[in-house]
Structure 1
């Protein structure tokens, strides 16, 4: 597992952006990177711009290692169509990403842990693999034993995020149906994502 679990907000300061749009992010108070030279920003090179785009997108989805992310890119590149759109589609089909989009957990990190601990059912069967690829029509539901968890109830009622229209969510049942694979324009990222730059980075 990545070390991101212990320092999840440091990436916000490194990238200079509030990746998840959360009020408690340290970037809201200090918009410069950490370290003694953090306030001395240089204009990034083309490579630097591509790297930042890759780090931004990879970081957004939580504890994804570089090896895992590269594997997702390879699959996106192998498929027909626009590689950048394929990349977004594959990332949004991850079970932990769908759980996060359903708002039953407050963060992408909590989503991964929630799945790993066996609190999620896919089509009635327990799935504990965060990277599991959800298919169109799959029904994702919180297990009965976890439906009364305080953080789940608070997260569902939070106004911080909205459930996107490619997921049909039944709040009273804590159940969602994955209706379609989204395009980049459909995904409610709090910051601008540039998957085309990620493709350029890996195509060097």
Structure 2
């Protein structure tokens, strides 16, 4: 499936924050990429600001336009605040949850682990990164894959980061998706209301 495989530093510089992981480029070149990156900043239109926010979320979670539009539709018809529902559905993706559990160091790496059938959901191998988890489902590393160096390295580097909506069992190498996170629990710097306004036009 198609996905963004271009330079990560360029995207980080575009948004002015390390949305695809830590980047030294932001410290060295704290201006936008391209030949006009250092030029005079023009005032952005309302539409441009909204579009930029949507693109940021798509890059963070690795979602393409068609999938994103479908997610937004699901969020819009569900009870509650549309923008918050959208982020909850993004967080409930299998690749994102594998990343949150610390099985992979990044969402890109998590997507690869899922695609290569290293991840099991409720005892069944699932190789669809966009698979939407439901509260109570168990995510674990496939038995044959528990000795993988990439997984063990990521788990050993697992910091004290804990997320309230997932729990991790280090003995079994499995985690549980407890519930959809509340908006204030999601650490991403996103103004989801701008995306709602964009789609409401």
Q: Which residue of 2 aligns with 1:42?
A: 42
Cα 1:29–1:174 change in 2 (3 A) is: farther
Which deviates the most, 136-145 or 36-45? 36-45
CA RMSD of aligned residues (A): 1.7
2:200 is the alignment partner of 1:200: no
| Secondary structure at the counterpart of residue 4 of structure 1 | coil
Aligned mates of 1:76, 1:96 — CA distance in 2: 19
Higher RCO (CA-CA < 8 Å; seq separation 6+): 1
Cα 1:129–1:159 change in 2 (3 A) is: closer
Deviations 1:44-65 (A, max 9, x none): 2211211111111111002x11
8 Å CA contact 1:90–1:133 kept in 2: the answer is: yes
| Secondary structure at the counterpart of residue 163 of structure 1 | coil
8 Å CA contact 2:20–2:59 kept in 1: the answer is: no
The count of corresponding residues between Structure 1 and Structure 2 is: 200
Ranges of 4+ aligned residues in structure 1 off by more than 4 Å = none
Structure 2: runs of 5 or more not aligned: none
Aligned mates of 2:118, 2:51 — CA distance in 1: 35
Structure 1: runs of 5 or more not aligned: none
Q: Which residue of 1 aligns with 2:66?
A: 67
Q: Which residue of 1 aligns with 2:113?
A: 114
Aligned mates of 1:6, 1:118 — CA distance in 2: 24
8 Å CA contact 1:164–1:188 kept in 2: the answer is: no
- The TM-score normalised by the length of structure 2 is 0.92
Aligned mates of 1:25, 1:108 — CA distance in 2: 19
8 Å CA contact 2:121–2:138 kept in 1: the answer is: yes
